[in-house]
C-alpha cells in the first residue's frame, strides 16, 4: 500500500468516507507522510439516515484519532427526496466543491482519494456505455486537476495513489491492521449505475475472464499513453495557432477543422485549461460540432464558446452562485 503512494509534497487532504478504500488510504498516507501533514475530510451527502451518517463519521473520527490526524467535516446543503432524485453526478459535484474549500482551509494543495483498480474498471465501463470517446476511456488519472468547477480550486491537485491496487488488496491490508471500516448499505442499491456495474456487470465479465478487472484498467492505461502523445501535438498547435488573451482564446475554425478530430478535441481541452476551465468529453465534442457553422454557441461550466465568421472563441464567464 505505501509503495503505491509515491512522492507527495506539503500538506494533504484525504477524502474519507469511512469505507474500506478511503480508510486504507488515510492510514497509508498518514504513515508515509506523517500525521502532522494530513487532514481527513468527511462529507455527508445526506443520502442516508442520520444514524448511518453518524456511524460513518464516527468511523472516520476513530481512525483519525488513532493516527493523530485532524478531521474536517461537511455536509450537503439539502436532503434529497425520493431515491435517485439527486444524481450521482450532482452528488459528486457537491462533494468536490466542498473538498476544494476544505483544502484551502487546511492549507493543502493536494487532495488524496481512495479510488482503486476496481473503481477504474467500473469507470471505464460506465463511460463507454454512455458513449464516451477515447478521452473518457482513459479513465481516471493518478494525478489530475480539480474535476469540477469550484471557487478556490485553481492550483489544487487530485491524487489517486491506489489505482493500481485492487479492492481485495485493500481489504487484506485493513484486516492485517485489525481495522474494520464502515459499510455503506447504499453500495448494494441498484438505483445507482455504478453499483449495477459493480454488482451485476463485472461479475459476469470475471466469469468470462477472471482478470477482466485488471484488463479494463490496463485498457485505460493504454488510452492514457495515446492521450499523452496526442496532447503533446495539441499543445504545440495551440502555441503556434491560438491567440490567448485574458479570459479568452480565439483560433481559426478552418485550421481547427483540418486537424484530426483526436487532436482537435485536445486542442480545445488545452485551450480551455489555459483559461482555468476544465471540460468533460461531452463539452469538448459539442464545441467541435459547433465548428460547422458561424453563429453557434455552447454553454460550458464557467465559460462559453462561440463561432463567429472564421473564428472560434472560448471565453470565461463569472462563476455562478452555488459553485463554491
pLDDT tens digits, 272-323: 989 988 888 889 999 999 999 999 999 998 899 999 999 999 999 865 444 4
Nearest 10 degrees: CA dihedral of 188, 194, 196, 198? -80
- The b-or-e profile of 107-124 (16+ CB within 10 A means b, else e) is ebbbbbbbbbbbbbbbbb
143 contacts 158 by C-beta, under 8 angstroms:
yes
Q: Using one digit for the tens of pLDDT, what is the confidence trace for 87-127?
A: 667 888 899 999 999 999 999 999 999 999 999 999 999 99
Say what the pLDDT of residue 83 is: 44
CA atoms within 13 A on the CB side of 292: 4
Calculate the average pLDDT of the chain: 89
The residue among 185, 178, 181 whose CA lies nearest residue 59 is 181
pTM for the structure as a whole: 0.83
What's the pLDDT tens digit per position in 149-173? 788 888 899 999 999 999 999 999 9
| Residues 131, 285: Cα–Cα separation, whole Å | 11
Which pLDDT value is given to residue 321?
Answer: 43
Per-position b or e across 192-224, b if 16+ CB within 10 A of its CB: bbebebbeebbeebeeeeeebbbebbebbeebb
Q: DSSP assignment of 195-249, as one string?
A: HHIIIIIHHHHHHH-TTHHHHHHHHHHHHHHHHHHHHHHHHHHHHHH-EEETTEE
CB atoms within 10 A of CB 55: 15
Per DSSP (E only), the strands in 138-208 are 143-145, 157-159
Q: Which DSSP string corresponds to 82-116?
A: STTSS-HHHHHHHHHHHHHHHHHHHT-SEEE----
Q: Give the Cα-Cα-Cα angle 167, 169, 174 (nearest 5 degrees).
A: 95
Q: How confident is the model at residue 82 (pLDDT cuts 50, 70, 90)?
A: very low
* DSSP label at residue 12: E
The number of helix segments (H) and strand segments (E) in the chain equals 12, 11
Per-residue pLDDT for 14 more than 80?
yes
Residues in the chain: 324
| pLDDT at residue 40, rounded to an integer | 98
- Inform me whether the pLDDT recorded for 324 exceeds 70: no
List of domains in the chain: 2-208 (3.40.50.620), 242-316 (3.30.465.60)
pLDDT tens across 16-28, in order? Answer: 999 999 999 999 9
Residue 54, pLDDT > 80, answer: yes
pLDDT given for residue 248 in this prediction: 95
The predicted-structure confidence for 181-217, as pLDDT tens digits, reads as follows: 987 766 777 878 889 999 999 999 999 999 999 999 9
pLDDT exceeds cutoff 70 at 70: yes
Amino acid at each position: 500500500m505505501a509503495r503505491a503512494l509515491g512522492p507527495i509534497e506539503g500538506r494533504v487532504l484525504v477524502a474519507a468516507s469511512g469505507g474500506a478504500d478511503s480508510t486504507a488510504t488515510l492510514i497509508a498516507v498518514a504513515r508515509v507522510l506523517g500525521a502532522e501533514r494530513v487532514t481527513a475530510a468527511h462529507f455527508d451527502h445526506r443520502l442516508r439516515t442520520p444514524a448511518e451518517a453518524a456511524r460513518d463519521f464516527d468511523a472516520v473520527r476513530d481512525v483519525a484519532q488513532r493516527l493523530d490526524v485532524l478531521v474536517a467535516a461537511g455536509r450537503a446543503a439539502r436532503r434529497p427526496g425520493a431515491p435517485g432524485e439527486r444524481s450521482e453526478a450532482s452528488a459528486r459535484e457537491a462533494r468536490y466543491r466542498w473538498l476544494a474549500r476544505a483544502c484551502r482551509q487546511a492549507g493543502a494543495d493536494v487532495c488524496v482519494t481512495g479510488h482503486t483498480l476496481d473503481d477504474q474498471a467500473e469507470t471505464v465501463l460506465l463511460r463507454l456505455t454512455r458513449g464516451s470517446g477515447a478521452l473518457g476511456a482513459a479513465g481516471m488519472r493518478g494525478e489530475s486537476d480539480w474535476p469540477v468547477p469550484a471557487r478556490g480550486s485553481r492550483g489544487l491537485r487530485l491524487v489517486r495513489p491506489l489505482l493500481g491496487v485492487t479492492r481485495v488488496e485493500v481489504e487484506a491490508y485493513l484486516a492485517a491492521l485489525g481495522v474494520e471500516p464502515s459499510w455503506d448499505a447504499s453500495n448494494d442499491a441498484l438505483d445507482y449505475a455504478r453499483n449495477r456495474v459493480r454488482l451485476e456487470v463485472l461479475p459476469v465479465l470475471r466469469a468470462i475472464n477472471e482478470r477482466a478487472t485488471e484488463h479494463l484498467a490496463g485498457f485505460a492505461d493504454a488510452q492514457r499513453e495515446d492521450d499523452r502523445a496526442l496532447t503533446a501535438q495539441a499543445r504545440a498547435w495551440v502555441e503556434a495557432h491560438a491567440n490567448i488573451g485574458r479570459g479568452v482564446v480565439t483560433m481559426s475554425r478552418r485550421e481547427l477543422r483540418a486537424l484530426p478530430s483526436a487532436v482537435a478535441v485536445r486542442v480545445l481541452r488545452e485551450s480551455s485549461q489555459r483559461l482555468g476551465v476544465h471540460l468533460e468529453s461531452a463539452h469538448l465534442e459539442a464545441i467541435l460540432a459547433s465548428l460547422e457553422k458561424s453563429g453557434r454557441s455552447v454553454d460550458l461550466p464557467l465559460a462559453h464558446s462561440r463561432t463567429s465568421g472564421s473564428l472560434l472563441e472560448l471565453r470565461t464567464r463569472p462563476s455562478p452562485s452555488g459553485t463554491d
